[in-house]
Structure 1
Amino acid sequence: MRKLVACVALASLTSCGHSEERIVPSLAEMEQVARTAGPDDGTTTRPQEIGGIEFQAIYREGDRVYFQVDENGPGVDPYGYVWSPKHAPVDDSNPSVASSFEHIQGPWYRWSDSY
């Protein structure tokens, strides 16, 4: 029974993105991309690999840059990581979308939307 509980806990921690052991080493490369991402630079039109992680979309919204992961295919609520260097992100988007943010380190957050 303990093994089952441990497996469920581990699955829930990693279900919304990559494990911290995998994402943290990629944050420096991701930040280089975030600092140069413009609002209309076309990064949302093609998958891009950064630090060994493939992102389906990378896009800027205001002072935040989103790195969207698409591991589960279409129809799944979007999730990934967000770079927010000025302040902790809050759910201030479309009222029909619930966004959640979990701090990783520095200006980096795990992000997910629920429609």
Structure 2
Amino acid sequence: MSRLFPGGVRILAIGVALALSTSCGYVEQQRVTRSFAEMEQVARAIAPDDLIDGPRTVGDAEFQAIYREGDRVHFQLGGNGPSVDPYGYVWSPSRVPVDDSHPSIASSFKHVQGHWYRWNDSY
């Protein structure tokens, strides 16, 4: 047993570090924000009827789907399961995104930086 880190303290320290790195999507958010430049390149290239469905890595982040909806491009992180609402990030260079989708879906957007917004839908 180390004098600097007794067994119990070492296990606690590892547990706290793991919890902090995975809680609240902090690591996911950091990967996405580091990837904004690469994501913008994809957003500028995607046509209105294009859908990238299935896991796709852009920069440091992996997305479940990427698609254009009007003047916005959605980078979906989650929401493929039956009990998880879609969420991710939206590139919206023309205007601040508003909830203008289907009446049975509540979309929310929170500004992150530049033309990037955190997005989630609730059914």
Normalised by the length of structure 1, the TM-score is 0.79
Q: Which has the higher contact order (CA 8 A, sep 6+)?
A: 1
Between the two proteins, the alignment pairs up a number of residues equal to 103
Deviation at 1:18, TM superposition (A): 2.4
Asked whether 1:50 is paired with 2:32, we answer no
Match for residue 23 of structure 1 among 21, 26, 32: 32
**Partner Cα distance (1:113, 1:42) in 2:** 18
**Partner Cα distance (2:108, 2:75) in 1:** 14
Alignment gaps of 5+ in structure 2: 1-18
Equivalent positions of 1:1-115 (< 5 A) are 11-12=23-24, 14=25, 18-19=28-29, 21-43=30-52, 45-70=53-78, 74-75=81-82, 76-115=84-123
Asked which structure has the greater CA Rg, the reply is 2
Runs of 4+ in 1 over 4 A off after TM superposition: none
Q: Percent of aligned pairs with the same residue?
A: 59
Deviation at 1:73, TM superposition (A): 5.3
